[in-house]
Structures are given as structure tokens and as C-alpha cells.
Amino acid sequence: MAETTTAPRPPANFRAGPGPASRFFGDVLLPGGAKAVLWLWVGFNVLLLLWVLVTSLKTDSEVFDFLSAPSRLAWENFTRAWADSGFGRAFANTVVYAVATAATSVLFAAPAAYGIARSGRKAGGWLLVFFSLGMTIPHQIVLVPYVVMNAQLDTLMVDWVTGWWDQRIFVVAVSVAWQIPFSVFVLEGYFRSLPSELEEAATIDGASRWTTFREVMLPLAGPAVRTVFVLNLITAWNETLLVLVLINDPAKSTLGPTLLNTFGSLQNQSSWGVLFAGVAVVTLPILAVFVWTAGRILEGVTAGVDK
């Protein structure tokens, strides 16, 4: 955006100094109401979270006594969820899946973003649009092809190549492909904003393109790379539909489908405490990551927009 050059001109229909009635409305009533709404919203979010956490420590029979405190802390909900309902396995799977996906997508996207940022105007522009296209394709259209590819790949690898295959690898690969467009988009902007003097110095010192990227540019882009990594991690952590469609073995599933399954099968039983422990297991790690990286994620979310 251009820098300030002239003082802003008030719009023609702008009337300074409104009458007392509309001043009361615009300066007291409206802002006051808006603040009340916002604080109510904040209160709702906090209370909802607290309610889930408290309920996860109630015994099954107490879960529906919503307005009472637990008589004792039922930590066994968590051990039961962890061991019996498969949340332990799912947790391990989700950690591996989310970290592998986020790391691999950054590994592919960072060099690509750098390459695009430093290539000519025409080629770079087209490549960026081509990648950005991926952000607008709804995932619905690729699900059927993925089911086919998943099965074919399984047969191919087991019968002809390695004699062994794990469908989770395909899920990671596909998730990486989903995350590349967004990652490239955000990182490209960041790389382009970096001054090229340092690169020139490195080039004059005889460093290769790749060395320059790895030793000079990547460290400089550290904050952006970390933000993209965390955002991809969160997206992968919450992914459900893809895993639901591609992974049939509950032992290989992630937290989302496991929670969904537990919820579905609980309609007949009544281990409600376990269900809420499951919700806590799904929710708390993400909250921890968010609190840990706090403002940086919010900055990162806006990095792709505010240019």
C-alpha cells in the first residue's frame, strides 16, 4: 500500500458532531453492547472448555449431573480411554502423522517457495498461481481417486516392490500434497520480502545455489517456516475425513475417527466419562501448542493475507 502522502479527505456525507441522540447510540449504546457480546462470547468459550475438562473427570453416572461438581476425580476415565478405547494408539498415530505431514510439506514447500520467489517475474507469477489453485480445489473431488490409488499402491508394493506396505504412508503423502499450496503461498511471500544482498555476498564467495539457500536464506526465513509448520501440524492433527476414507484398520487410525467411533458406539453403552476424556486428549495438545507458540500463530495466519 502506498505511504501516506495527503491528509485523508472526509467523505462528503460525513457529518461531524452528530446530534445527542445518535451520539448516545454511536458512542455508548453500540460500543457497550458490542463489548458485552464479545465478553459473553469469551465467557462461553472458557466455560465450555472448563465444562469439558471437569466432565472428563466425572464418573459415568455423574456426567449427566451437569450442574454439580464431581464427587471425586475419576482419573480412570483417562486410563480407560487410553488403553481400552484406543486413544493411546490413536494418539501415537496422530503425533507421527501430524509431525511427518507438517515436516515433509515444509521440506518440499520451502525450497519451492524460494525458487519461485527468486525466479523471473513471468515464470514465478505463473508458478505461484498454479500452486495457489490447489487452495481452492475442494477435497471432495479427490477422495474417490485416493481410494483407488490407495488400494492399487498397496497391491503394487506388496506384490512387486517391497513385499510390505503401510497405508498410513499414502495418507501422509496425500496430506503433504494438500498442504503444499498453502505452505508455498505463505513462504514465497516471506522469501521475496528478504533482501537479496546476503545471497549476492554468498554467491560471490562461491557458494552454490543450494548452499546459499540452506545456510543463508532458510535460517533467515525461520519464523515463517516455523509458523507454517505449526499451522500444518494443527490442520493434520484435526484431519478426519481423509483418514476415515483411507484407513480401515482401527489400530492405524488417528484421534478424529477414534473419537467419532467412540461416540458412535457409546450410544449403546454409557462410558460417558471416557468419551469426555477422549475429547480432552484430542483438544489439550493443540491448546498446548497454541499457548506455547501463542501470538506467532496468529501472526502466521495473517501472513498469507496481509501483504
Pick out residues in 35-94 that bind other proteins (CB under 8 A). Answer: 35, 37-39, 41-42, 45-46, 48-49, 51-52, 55, 63-64, 66-67
Q: Which stretch binds other proteins (CB under 8 A): 85-93, 157-165, 220-228, 257-265?
A: 257-265
Question: For other proteins, which residue of 118, 228, 236, 243 counts as binding (CB under 8 A)?
Answer: 118
Q: Which stretch binds other proteins (CB under 8 A): 2-10, 81-89, 95-103, 156-164?
A: 2-10
> Percent helix, strand and coil across the chain, each rounded to 5?
75, 0, 25
Question: For other proteins, which residue of 112, 207, 216, 220 counts as binding (CB under 8 A)?
Answer: 112
Question: For other proteins, which residue of 177, 194, 207, 218 counts as binding (CB under 8 A)?
Answer: 177
Pick from 277, 106, 270, 301: which is nearest to 184 by CA? 106
Q: What's the length of the chain?
A: 307
Considering beta carbons, is residue 83 or 123 the nearer one to other proteins?
123
CA distances from 200 to 82, 197, 217, 285 (A): 54, 5, 11, 42
Q: Which stretch binds other proteins (CB under 8 A): 82-90, 156-164, 221-229, 231-239?
A: 231-239
Number of Cβ within a 10 Å radius of residue 104:
18
- Alpha carbon distance 103, 109 (integer Å): 10
Q: Which stretch binds other proteins (CB under 8 A): 83-91, 161-169, 218-226, 298-306?
A: 298-306
Question: For other proteins, which residue of 88, 99, 103, 134 counts as binding (CB under 8 A)?
Answer: 134
Considering beta carbons, is residue 252 or 277 the nearer one to other proteins?
277
CB of 177 to other proteins, least distance (A): 4
Question: For other proteins, which residue of 20, 120, 163, 222 counts as binding (CB under 8 A)?
Answer: 120
Q: Which of the residues 193 through 212 are near other proteins (CB under 8 A)?
A: 196-197, 199-200, 203, 209-210
Angle value at C-alpha 46, between 40 and 52, nearest 5 degrees: 130
- Alpha carbon distance 213, 153 (integer Å): 34
Q: Which stretch binds other proteins (CB under 8 A): 8-16, 76-84, 95-103, 221-229?
A: 8-16
* AA letter at 258: T
Helix, strand or coil, per DSSP, at residue 137? coil
Phi, psi of 58 (to 5 degrees): -95, 155
CB of 57 to other proteins, least distance (A): 15
Helix, strand or coil, per DSSP, at residue 38? helix
Task: Give burial (CB, 10 Å; 0-12/13-18/19+) of 306.
Answer: exposed
Question: For other proteins, which residue of 165, 226, 286, 296 counts as binding (CB under 8 A)?
Answer: 286
